[in-house]
Chain A
C-alpha cells in the first residue's frame, strides 16, 4: 500500500489544522526570540493552501506540493514563507509526475526540502532553525529503514528525532534570523521554526499511520 494523491492532499489539510491549533503556542515561542508572528503567519498561509487545494483536480503529487509551496510563499511573508515555500516547491520538483508515494519517496522529499531550506536560508544544522528538526528526522527515518523497521515505526522514530531536535534548539544560540540579534540571550528558548516543522512531521506520521502503510 502507498500514499495516493488524495491522501497527500488530506495530509496537507491536516497540517493546516495542526498549525491553526498551535497558532497561539507558536506565536508565543516567537514572541520570546523573534517578532511574535510565526503562528499567525503560518495559519494565514495554510488557510490559503486549503482554498487552493480544494480548487485543484490534479493527481500529480508534484503539482500538489508545488501549489502548497507557491501559496505559502505568496501568503506567509516574513522568513518562514520563503523557507517553507521553497521546501514544498523543492519537494514538488522531486515528486513531479508521481501519483503515489512509497517510503523511499519520503527520503527524497525530506532531502529536497532540506536542500531548499539550506539554499534559501543559507543555514546549516545547529543554527537554531527548522533544519534542527528536519535533518535529525531524515537521519532517524533512513537509519530505521536500514535496520528493517516498518515504515510506521520509522516515521515514529523520525518524529521522536524531530522533537529531540526541537529540545536541542533550547540549548544553542541562534545564528540565523531575528533571534540571532539576541546572541547568547536566545539560549533557553526553543526555536519556533523547528517547532512548527516538528508539528508538521508529527501530523504526517499520524496521517500515514491511520491512512495507509507506504510500501518499502
Chain B
C-alpha cells in the first residue's frame, strides 16, 4: 500500500494541525481534544450545532464548521466514533444559553457515545437535543436491524439546521427542521475499489477488476450486492431508482441533489453521474433545485460515489440557499 503519511497513529492529529494552519481565520481547536470549532464560538444566543464521528471522511465533519453550518466537529480515530468525554468537551466549548443540537450519523458506536455525552452535559444543566441521520436506502430499515446508516445526506442536515440556528431560532425549531431534512433525504452509494485504513495497511475488502459493490457504506460495510461493472448511466439509474422507490415523489416536486465522491473518484466522473441524475429526474417530472457535486463525505481513498436527494419545500429551499462559510461548502 502507498500512503502519504508519517505515522498511522498520528494521522488525525497531524491532519487537524494542517487544517488549522490553512484556515486560521475560520477555525480553532479546543485544547481538550480533537475538536474543531468556529473561530468565534460560542456564539451568544445561537443554538450550537455539533457533529462528528470517525475520521477518514474528510471534509466531514471539520470542513463544515463555520458560519451557517456547524459550531463544532469532533474527530474520532479513523472510522471510530469519538468518545463521550471528547463530545462533552465540544458541547462545553461551544454552548450558549440557547442550547446544543447534536447531529449523529446512525451507527451503533456513534449513537451511544453521543448519547452518553448528552447525558453528561444534561447533568450539568445544559440544554442538549440530538437527531440521528439515517439516509442510506441500501440498508433495510426495520426494528430487527440497527437501521439505516447515516451517509452523505448528513451534509444537508448540517446546512439546513445550521442556517436555522444562524437565524436565531430556538433549539426546538432547529431540531424540528433537522428532523424534517432527515425525513426527506435519501441516499445510496457504490464502490469501485476499497479503502485502506492507515493502521491496517491492507484493503478492508476485495473487489475484482471488473466488479463493483452496490449500496456500500462509508466504512466499506457491505452493500446490497456485487455485480459486474456497468456504465455510469446504468449505475446511476440503479442508484436513483432505489432512492426514488423509497421517496414517494410526485410530478412537480423539487429536490436538491448531492453527488458525493468517496475519495478517489475524479470530478469528471461525478459530473457524468450528475448529468444522468438530472436526466432521470426530469423524465419523471421532478424539478432539480440546488445541486452539489464534489467530495463531502469520503471513505479514505475508496473509489465510487453516492447520490443523495432531498425533497424540498419552501422552508428547506430557503435555508439551503442561506449563506454558509465553511471550508468545504460555501453558499454566498
Contacts and interface: CB of A to CB of B under 8 A. Distances in A.
Contacts of B77: 77
A180 B113 contact: no
Contact of B200 (A36, A41, A81): A36
B146 A81 contact: no
A9 to B, nearest CB: 23
A83 B115 CA distance: 12
B294 interface: no
Interface residues of A, number: 28
Interface in A61-86: 73-79, 81-83, 85-86
B13 interface: no
A148 B186 CA distance: 58
Interface string A177-190: 11011110100000
A142 to B, nearest CB: 28
B145 A181 contact: yes
A78 B79 CA distance: 9
B85 interface: yes
A82 B146 CA distance: 16
Contacts of B44: none
Given A73-B116, A178-B146, A35 B81 contact: no
Given A73-B83, A77-B109, A82-B109, A181 B200 contact: no
Contacts of A132: none
A82 B84 contact: yes
Given A74-B84, A79-B109, A182 B222 contact: yes
Interface string B57-79: 00000000000000000001101
A148 B232 CA distance: 70
Interface of A: 35-37, 40-41, 73-79, 81-83, 85-86, 120-121, 175-178, 180-183, 185
Given A73-B83, A176-B108, A178-B221, 14 more contacts: A35-B219, A73-B84, A73-B116, A74-B84, A75-B83, A77-B82, A82-B113, A86-B116, A120-B112, A121-B108, A175-B144, A177-B146, A180-B146, A185-B222
13 contacts: A41-B80, A79-B112, A82-B115, A83-B112, A121-B108, A121-B112, A175-B144, A175-B146, A177-B108, A178-B108, A180-B145, A181-B217, A183-B145
